[in-house]
Structure 1
Amino acid sequence: MSLNSLKDVYVDQLQDLYSACAQSHAVMDDLAGAAENDDLRAALEAGKDGIADGMSKLEHLISGHGAEVGGEHCKGMEGLVAEARAHGLEEDFGDADARDAMIITQYQRMAHYAIAGYGCCAAFANRLDFMDEAETLSQMLEAAYSGDRHFSGIAQGQVNRAAAE
């Protein structure tokens, strides 16, 4: 697809976000299964549900523009998921709390990719006067921010302290 307009860029980035979400969704069960901290495990499971909800909304937005949902493969998230697997799951940890700290780190890197994508797409939708879509994307952005803050709270309130002991 040739990107000749802001709308083309917008749809391309919606497809990229969908791919990113699908890839991060696939690693969430593994991260939750490796987490020792109960609050972290529950947050990862809730995060997976949030990602699935986001994918459903993105699918609706993309198909509303007559584009293929799977039209893009997100190389950025591919790398972040590989890092999450390598550093959060495959790395040899002598301490479960240290692994939990790493899992949070890897999750938040993936979440920050989504935050950047949702923010850009919301701005594009606003400029294109796709006001309903802009509102949906703004809500998705806030949900991603909220999840990121929740993980920071788990890290700062429990996991980092335990990992430092």
Structure 2
Amino acid sequence: MSAPDSLKEVYLDELKDLWSANDQMTKAIRTLSPKIHDKKLKELFDGATGGIETHTATIKGLIEASGGEVEPEHCKGMEGLVREALKHGTKEAPEDEELLDLVLIAQFQRMSHYGVTGFGTAAAYASALGLKDDAKQLKAIVADIYRGDEVSSKQGERLARLAAKHEAADA
């Protein structure tokens, strides 16, 4: 692919990157989810894939409506985050169930934060291009990811307190 020469092309490239990022994150979550021990965290992971797939459908629609080629462009940024998530969640995973769950939620949040920045950037481009409906849809996705991040943070804090309590009891 050649370098973009307009804001619209930069916008479409961002959407294609996000599509690839979402596909990669979904696969990673599906790989890591069976390793989770905490019921609430498992529900969070399992529910996240549906949300990500909905976001991806929105991306495809926005690309198509803008006249872009409807296909993802491989996202190397998410590739690195996924590689790290899988490393920490499988190859270098803690044996302790609570610690593993903490590691998995941290990796999930790192991947989610990539989405926050990408969708936020795409929304800014859409606004600048006068694509008000696109911007509205993208901002809704950012808000959705933020809500998920808030739930993730609360789960992480809860699991960290449990792990600390168990460590104190074992000491």
Give yes or no for TM over 0.5. Answer: yes
SS at match of 1:49: helix
The separation in 1 between residues aligned to 2:12 and 2:93, in whole angstroms, is: 41
Q: Cα offset for 1:5?
A: 1.3
The separation in 2 between residues aligned to 1:46 and 1:152, in whole angstroms, is: 16
Deviations 1:126-150 (A, max 9, x none): 1110000000000000001111111
The question of 1:100 aligning with 2:101 is answered yes
The separation in 1 between residues aligned to 2:72 and 2:105, in whole angstroms, is: 30
Gaps of at least 5 residues in structure 1 are: none
What TM-score do the two structures reach when normalised by structure 1? 0.95
The separation in 2 between residues aligned to 1:138 and 1:113, in whole angstroms, is: 15
Greater Rg by CA: 2
Aligned equivalent of 2:10: 9
What is the alpha-carbon root mean square deviation over aligned residues? 1.1
The separation in 2 between residues aligned to 1:75 and 1:69, in whole angstroms, is: 19
What TM-score do the two structures reach when normalised by structure 2? 0.92
Q: Cα offset for 1:2?
A: 2.9
**How does 1:73-84 map onto structure 2 within 5 Å?**
73-84=74-85
The separation in 2 between residues aligned to 1:107 and 1:58, in whole angstroms, is: 21
AA aligned to 1:124 is Y
Query: % of aligned pairs identical?
Result: 37
The separation in 2 between residues aligned to 1:68 and 1:8, in whole angstroms, is: 11
The separation in 2 between residues aligned to 1:69 and 1:99, in whole angstroms, is: 38
* Aligned residue pairs, count: 164
SS at match of 1:69: coil
Query: Does the C-alpha gap of structure 1 residues 120 and 92 become closer, same or farther in structure 2, counting only changes over 3 Å?
Result: closer
Gaps of at least 5 residues in structure 2 are: 167-171
Deviations 1:37-89 (A, max 9, x none): 00000000111111010011001111222222324110000010111100012
Structure 1 residue runs of 4 or more that deviate by more than 6 Å after TM superposition: none
